Amino acid sequence: MSDTEIQTPNSKLIVDQALYQSRNEIFLGLCSDTQEFFAIKAYPKEQDKVSSSFLNERRFLFLDHKNIISMKPTLKNMTCCLEERMPNKSFLIMEYAPYGNFYELLASKKLKFDETLARTYFRQLIEGLEYLHEQGVAHLDLKPHNLLLGNNFQLKIADFDLAMLREDKIIRGRGSKFYRAPELLGSKMSNPMLADIYSAGIFLFLMKTGGTLPHVEGRKYKGVNLFELMNEDNEKFWETHLEFLGEGPNFVSEDFKTLFNSMTKKKAKERASLGEIKKSRWYNGDFYDDKELERVMTSLLATN
């Protein structure tokens, strides 16, 4: 580890290299007293004022769920020198997810999601979302980059800088291209939590296909407008994807199609609720318990 330090009220964090990609820099920290690792998210000032993203994200320090990344008390306006380039910034100290994010796992092809593994992580995502929505929180930027793999290989929803509370009147962002619900591009959104349902459906598709998106926003893929097909000719949509993937008709079950289709309706009010998702046939298929998941993931990552 490097010897760069950030003082905290009770001890110090020894700061080392940058971690996974984010809109803000994230560094690895080691608590000198407990030898516990943390992730440190650094927010640059905005015109000499504390970052609005920092002020928004720290509102969610109260979240407490095994599938939500935990955040620690904040460090505000502290001078920190990391490789001689860190000006005054605001910081959040977060739970460290040692296995990176799902984007890295999918892009590197390190992990092949069979049906049971995909269902296990999808169920964890839905459990985390259910907790968020019960707390009146809409994430609004669910994507593989913001889904981390924590200790014991549990999925962790992270990055709440664009999230909103039920009583909020202003939408802070428009989500991320390819993963966002269509209504995030509009001027009105009656139920932000339904946008999370859509994004969770995109993630489900990615796991099933090993990283292939169901559609690419604003343009064609191999000459085909997949978004249009998904909404207007769903049977052709699935036929086209199977052709692109080089897979036979049994690669995607009817139960899977039904679940994905129900979550990604263009009209938000027509999408499946979390309760309906949890009652779906595909959701209730085989999945790994925590001990089985740890054994399976340890084996899979060791061989890749």
Catalytic residues, by residue number, are: 141
Query: Quick one: DSSP state of residue 6?
Result: E
Question: CA dist 21 to 145, 148, 268, 272, 286, Å?
Answer: 7, 11, 30, 31, 32
Question: CA dist 125 to 6, 87, 120, 131, 134, Å?
Answer: 33, 36, 9, 10, 14
In terms of C-beta density within 10 A (0-12 exposed, 13-18 middle, 19 or more buried), how is residue 135 classed?
Answer: middle
CB atoms within 10 A of CB 99: 19
Distance between CA 180 and CA 63 in Å, rounded? 23
Distance between CA 92 and CA 86 in Å, rounded? 15
The H or E element that residue 203 is part of is helix 192-209
- Please give the structure tokens belonging to residue 269: 């009010």
